[in-house]
Amino acid sequence: MVSNQEREFLSGRRVAYLATADARAVPHVVPVCFALSGETLYVTIDEKPKRTTGMPLKRLRNIAENPAVAMVVDRYDEDWSRLAWVELRGQVSIEPVGPALEALAERYPQYRAEPPPGPLLRLAVSDAVVWSAGER
Amino acid sequence: MVSNQEREFLSGRRVAYLATADARAVPHVVPVCFALSGETLYVTIDEKPKRTTGMPLKRLRNIAENPAVAMVVDRYDEDWSRLAWVELRGQVSIEPVGPALEALAERYPQYRAEPPPGPLLRLAVSDAVVWSAGER
């Protein structure tokens, strides 16, 4: 369940940072684009598998081993009293782009010109942490 | 070993995103400040333990269980041909602020006014991934 406060903060940010871990608990983190559609959070994985190895991306291999992820969205400001972030944790599933395209294209004009090839991650949020420097 | 290209990119960015995982491989990710001093990367953890529980921060508990971390620094731009990021992976140790303060205060005037209370994380980089949209 994503609160209205979290939803508003997420809507105002363009990039999130998605952490996955493999079965040996070795973490991996990358910038990602995302969109909320109702209670569902979609994350795009719009790079192709590495041409050199033909291997699927590390984050997809990690998710196949371990669907637990964490995602953070933040506001940085040189006035540190304005720092804030929202971390969402949960389990992801790998899905084709399908109906999430509308929510993504609404946020990112870039996807209107060139839709993400997919797959997408669909995050079922089980836990959210909201932090802001102003509330320390 | 941090390459000159990675070093230059890192120097130009203000925030990194640090992913840790607990022993059950559940990831956690937060924005952090950082500084390179020679070959050593320092990351600040400048929040106090939660007053409500007296528990150390989740990222410190994760590191005690599992010192493997990943950290990403990125450049976002609405012109997606300018997207770029550097991910560093390795093992961290927990240290007092000590001599890292100089490197941190050089990058962040905020720390000159109020030094981070510590502890710090010291990251021994074992692996780096550099990605830029221009090189796809």
pLDDT at B58: 76
Query: Which band of pLDDT confidence, cut at 50, 70 and 90, is reported for residue B34?
Result: very high
What amino acid occupies position A76?
A: Y
Across residues B54-59, what is the average pLDDT?
70
If you average pLDDT over every residue of chain B, what do you get?
A: 89
Q: How far is Cα A108 from Cα A33, in angstroms, rounded to an integer?
A: 9
DSSP of B59-125: HHHHHHH--EEEEEEEE--SSGGG-EEEEEEEEEEEE-STTHHHHHHHH-HHHHHS---S-EEEEEE
Query: Which band of pLDDT confidence, cut at 50, 70 and 90, is reported for residue A38?
Result: confident
Q: Has residue B56 got a pLDDT over 90?
A: no
Give the Å distances, CA to CA, from B92 to A25, B62, B64: 14, 11, 10
Interface of B with A in 16-35 (CB under 8 A): 17-31
Q: How far is Cα B26 from Cα A51, in angstroms, rounded to an integer?
A: 29
β-pairing, A27-32 vs A16-21, is: antiparallel
- Which residue has tokens 């609405």? B78
Q: Has residue A122 got a pLDDT over 80?
A: yes
Q: Closest approach of chain A CAs to the CA of B47, in angstroms?
A: 9
Interface of A with B in 53-92 (CB under 8 A): 66, 68-72, 74, 76, 78, 80, 83, 85, 87, 89
Domains of chain B: 4-135 (2.30.110.10)
pLDDT at A102: 92
Query: Is-contact B2 B128, C-beta < 8 A?
Result: yes
Q: Nearest chain A Cα to B127, which residue? A: A28
CB contact under 8 A, A80 and B24: no
pTM: 0.92
Q: Is B6 on the interface with A (CB under 8 A)?
A: no
Q: Closest approach of chain A CAs to the CA of B56, in angstroms?
A: 16
What amino acid occupies position A135?
A: E
ipTM above 0.85, yes or no: yes
Q: Which residues of chain B make contact with A28, given a CB cutoff of 8 A?
A: 19, 70, 87, 89
pLDDT at A66: 95
What are the tens digits of pLDDT across the range B92-124?
999 998 889 999 999 999 999 999 988 899 999
Query: Which band of pLDDT confidence, cut at 50, 70 and 90, is reported for residue B53?
Result: low
Across residues B4-8, what is the average pLDDT?
89
Q: Which residues of chain B make contact with A68, given a CB cutoff of 8 A?
A: 25-27
